């Protein structure tokens, strides 16, 4: 008899707390988490494998959401380059930075959907040193051995970027970026043209290109119940925007929306 009473009490307790737990879980699923994102470019560690000479460096990146689809971005890095050949020894090292903004061009499917496909622009600045030792060349008088002393050089450039970032776990993202770079202004060296500029790469060619592969973490500092609207192109509206707004304003709208996409990662 005592066992039956305890079983009945336990069952009643479960019945009472189940709606509370369900309501709490439902509320947590309604929130959209946002915050600054900081990451590291893993492709910088692969530089020695596809670049002649000894080239290595690092780069960190950060962005923060603004009005849902805009992501102001800052990127900072360092690079060292050392190339020793039979006729010269070239050394180059310095720091660089970029600022810009990425614009998400896809539609968020739900409050839990944080994947973006973006286009963007950057302004870049680099400050570095270069020098050449043991330069050997021939002229009318025979073989000549000389050196060019270290010289400080700065460079400015612009970039157009295209890429994506996807959430593979809670607040953890991986992404890639393609970069087309357009040199603007740089300090003139009367002796030699820089072979490599930190942040730009090789100077040979009219439009240097680059690739980034990043792993980043988002700090979940903000939460909202508002789903960002898709970017308007030419003043047109996304065909599903009005329907989604009606679903969100109606009872159970968030549940319907969440059931339609974004959770099956």
Q: How far apart are CA 84 and CA 254, in angstroms?
A: 62
pLDDT for the residue 64: 97
Identify the pLDDT of residue 189: 85
pLDDT of the chain, 265 residues: tens digit per residue: 554 555 555 455 555 554 544 444 444 458 999 999 999 999 988 876 666 678 889 999 999 999 989 999 999 999 999 998 888 899 999 999 999 999 999 999 999 999 999 999 999 999 999 999 888 877 777 777 788 888 999 999 999 999 999 999 999 999 999 999 999 999 988 888 898 999 998 887 678 888 999 999 999 999 998 888 888 765 445 555 555 555 554 554 444 444 444 433 3
Indicate the pTM of the whole model: 0.74
- Pick the closest to residue 229 from 119, 106, 101, 71 (CA basis): 106
b/e code 122-161 from CB counts within 10 Å (16+ = b): bebebebebbbeebeeeeeeeeeeeebeebebebebebeb
DSSP state of 1: -
pLDDT score recorded for residue 70: 97
Most distant CA atoms of the chain, gap in Å: 115
Cα separation, 190 vs 193, in Å, equals 8
**C-alpha dist (Å) from residue 25 to 28, 39, 86, 163:** 5, 30, 68, 34
Please state, in angstroms and as integers, the Cα–Cα distance from residue 114 to each residue in 40, 56, 167, 226, 264, following that order: 19, 32, 6, 13, 13
Strand (E) or helix (H) holding 256? helix 253-260
As a residue count, the chain comes to 265
- pLDDT at res. 261: 41
* Contact of 211 with 44, CB cutoff 8 Å: no
Q: CB under 8 Å to 77, separation ≥6 — which residues?
A: 41, 44, 57, 58, 59, 60, 95, 96, 97, 198, 199
Rounded to the nearest 10°, the torsion over CA 44, 50, 56, 57 is -20
How far is C-alpha 152 from the geometric centre of its chain's CA atoms?
29
Q: Are the beta carbons of 103 and 69 closer than 8 angstroms?
A: yes
């Amino acid at each position: 008899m005592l066992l039956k009473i305890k079983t009945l009490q336990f069952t009643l307790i479960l019945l009472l707390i189940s709606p509370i737990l369900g309501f709490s879980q439902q509320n947590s699923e309604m929130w959209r988490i946002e915050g600054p994102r900081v990451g590291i470019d893993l492709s910088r560690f692969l530089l020695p494998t596809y670049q002649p000479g000894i080239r290595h460096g690092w780069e960190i990146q950060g962005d923060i959401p603004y009005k849902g689809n805009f992501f102001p971005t800052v990127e900072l890095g360092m690079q060292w380059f050392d190339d020793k050949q039979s006729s010269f020894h070239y050394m180059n090292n310095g720091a660089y930075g970029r600022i810009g903004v990425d614009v998400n061009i896809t539609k968020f499917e739900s409050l839990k959907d944080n994947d973006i496909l973006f286009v963007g622009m950057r302004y870049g600045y680099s400050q570095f040193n270069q020098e050449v030792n043991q330069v050997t060349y021939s002229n009318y008088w025979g073989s000549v051995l000389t050196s060019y002393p270290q010289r400080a050089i700065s460079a400015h450039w612009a970039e157009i970027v295209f890429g994506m970032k996807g959430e593979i776990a809670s607040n953890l993202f991986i992404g890639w970026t393609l970069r087309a770079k357009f040199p603007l202004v740089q300090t003139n060296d009367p002796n030699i043209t820089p072979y490599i500029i930190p942040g730009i790469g090789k100077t040979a060619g009219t439009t240097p290109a680059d690739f980034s592969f990043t792993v980043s973490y988002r700090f979940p500092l903000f939460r909202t119940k508002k789903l960002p609207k898709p970017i308007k192109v030419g003043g047109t509206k996304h065909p599903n925007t009005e329907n989604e707004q009606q679903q969100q304003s109606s009872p159970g709208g968030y549940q319907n929306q969440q059931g339609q996409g974004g959770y099956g990662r």
